[in-house]
Structure 1
Amino acid sequence: MAALTRVCSRVCKQNVIVRALSTSSKVCSAEENVGKQTHTGQVFDKDDYRRVRFVGKDKLVNPQWAINLIAEDPIVVCDTNHVWSDSGGPLGHPKVYLNLDPPEVQVCGYSGRKFILKKYYDKTKHGDSISYDEYLKQVRAKYSSQNKV
């Protein structure tokens, strides 16, 4: 008890403000996003105990799913059979080399960008496209704007 008194007297001398701890609980209604599905497929039933984490606060659900954004990206049409993707240098991902010899779309495993050799590209089958030079300009412009901070 004497040790506790010494500690309390030292704390009081240092002008420490002590707040009382509340042990009461308040039940709030579920917010609007609790029932929405996330990009991973997570959705909870009304009586699921895991909904308790959203009592008094809202579940954050991003309506722009990455898989949909990648699908909207135009395919990169290349003149050479070997290209690389790094999503903009040091702030992107490791450099990935892609072999475009097979007559199909090649996808970067990190960024999801799609690449195809010019002779295999068909607008009706593959959709919109940009050239490899345009792709490099886009990712370099993104890197230079991030690097100005």
Structure 2
Amino acid sequence: MLRRSCQFALQTRKRSSLTLPKTAPITRKSQDEIEIAQAPNRVATWSPSQSSKDHIIKTNVRFVGRDLTKQPNPQAAIDLIAQQPIRYIHNNIAVCSGTDIFQGHPKVYINLDKDMPGTCGYCGLRYAREELKDKLS
């Protein structure tokens, strides 16, 4: 028992004698000074009833004391789906089946009789008739 306690004392002395590299002091801004964007690819809110992310983080108790640089900041889906090209169909009815019915996207039939693209209400993909390709491009 005595031998183990002596070994422990020697190990702790060795650990305490190690020197760590010095780093620059970390200065933290208060939450009021930090300007928070809605998303990396979005500056403003996309709905009039939506509160801005900046307002929510500064007023909600949930975010007090959190380092916001380490929080996830996903891309805004509304802008990402707008970058998708229009899918041109030979028929007047487009079928959007999504990825999986169990994820909440059922099979949807979209009427393409109008001279404008039809949009899926679940995923936002746009469909149009093949003969409108020159007009919409």
Task: Tell me whether the two structures share a fold, i.e. TM-score over 0.5.
Answer: yes
Higher relative contact order (CA 8 A, sep 6+): 1
Structure 1: state its 5+ residue gaps.
1-27, 127-149
Tell me the C-alpha RMSD between the 2 structures: 3.1
Where does the alignment leave 5 or more consecutive residues of structure 2 unmatched?
Answer: 1-27, 40-44, 46-51
Question: For residues 49 and 110 of structure 1, do their structure 2 counterparts lie closer, same or farther at Cα, with a shift above 3 Å needed?
Answer: closer
Number of aligned residues: 95
What is the CA–CA distance in structure 2 between the aligned matches of 1:76 and 1:96, rounded to whole Å?
A: 15
What aligned pairs does 1:14-93 form with structure 2 within 5 A after superposition?
30=30, 35-39=35-39, 40=45, 41-44=52-55, 48-50=58-60, 53-58=63-68, 60=71, 62-91=73-102, 93=105
When normalised by structure 2's length, the TM-score is: 0.55
1:111 corresponding residue in structure 2: 123
TM-score normalised by structure 1 residue count: 0.51
Separation in structure 2 between the aligned mates of residue 45 and residue 71 of structure 1, nearest angstrom? 26
Q: Deviation of residue 86 (structure 1)?
A: 1.6
